Amino acid sequence: MTSGERVEALAALGRERVLILDGAMGTQIQDLKLDEEGYRGERFADWPSAIKGNNDILNLTTPDAVKAIHKAYFEAGSDIVETNTFSATSIAQADYGMQELAPEIAREGARLAREAADAIEAETGTPRGVAGAIGPTNKTLSISPDVNDPGFRDIDFETIRKAYHEQAAAMAEHVDFFLIETVFDTLNAKAAIKALLDLKAETGIDRPIMISGTITDRSGRTLSGQTAEAFWYSVRHARPWAVGLNCALGAEEMRPYIAEIARVADTRIITYPNAGLPNDMGEYDETPEETSGFVGEWARSGLVNILGGCCGTTPEHIRAIAESVKGAKPRRPARRERAMRLSGLEPFELSA
């Protein structure tokens, strides 16, 4: 099955039921309890700086463990898994002095997910997709890192665009979708969108784009200040295969913002909340039953098309979510009258 055929098959499946995304990669990696030596492996035994915490390097040092995590999510009911490439850009990898390795990390992350997907697809006869995860980087284009100089930026749009282009090009062969996720700064997301459109124009490689923003708290805004509706208007030009929210909030807190996007978006809604809010130790206590209870209601209320989990979620959470949405009809994209819709921090609509 080609990537295009797989996307069509998943789209057809998604017209019948809610599709299931995977859960947290980082949570599963934490359960491996790797020390510095475990992260380094043989290849990076003599690396001059500490690399523990660089989860993406495990694509090179412990590939079997990464593939096993993907397999566990597929076996729990995921139709689509994300690659272990959230930080596989030269910008993010510079924290570890590994910026030159970013394309290899991205390529191997995509390959491992593809191998896991293909094995399950062959075993079950049902399509299993791979979404190339594109994280926000550790830089922001809209906000100064210096509180004393609001106009200062320590990176520019073209530098971020190039980093995303490099990452996407490395993953393209093995993925069915590109997923621009955990968007806290819409301008960073714009750089990723531009990179993907450039890659398509240059190579002819056409992978559907999914975009997932992050509402940082109960203010209902991204870190760069946009409401959920304004965020949608800012990225709608990319004609995403799906749009939605992930991270920062648990399902209970996220619901009003998912409902806000679902009301206006003329495409599929994807959402994958955290397992509740972190406790005082930074850990997540929400059980699979609790998380699935919240998102199952979303599905029954017609708010979503694709459901998964972010920080703190496990294969058990995904299994419970898949069970909770059985029989629920997927959301129908919003149909709205033609109007001029603009966005700053707030949405603006001018009707005829």
Binding residues for Zn(2+): 247, 310-311
Q: Are strands 347-351 and 268-274 parallel, antiparallel or unpaired?
A: unpaired
Write down the number of H helices and E strands in the chain: 13, 10
- The answer for residues whose C-beta is within 8 angstroms of residue 184's C-beta and 6 or more apart is 136, 140, 213, 214, 216, 222, 223, 224
Alpha-carbon separation of residue 332 from 11, 264, 266 (angstroms): 13, 11, 9
Give phi and psi for 96, each to the nearest 5.
Answer: -110, 5
Feature table: binding site: 247, 310-311
- Residue 188, Cβ neighbours under 10 Å: how many? 26
Q: Are 119 and 67 in contact (CB under 8 A)?
A: no
Residue 336's closest CA among 351, 346, 323, 321? 351
Q: Are 242 and 305 in contact (CB under 8 A)?
A: yes
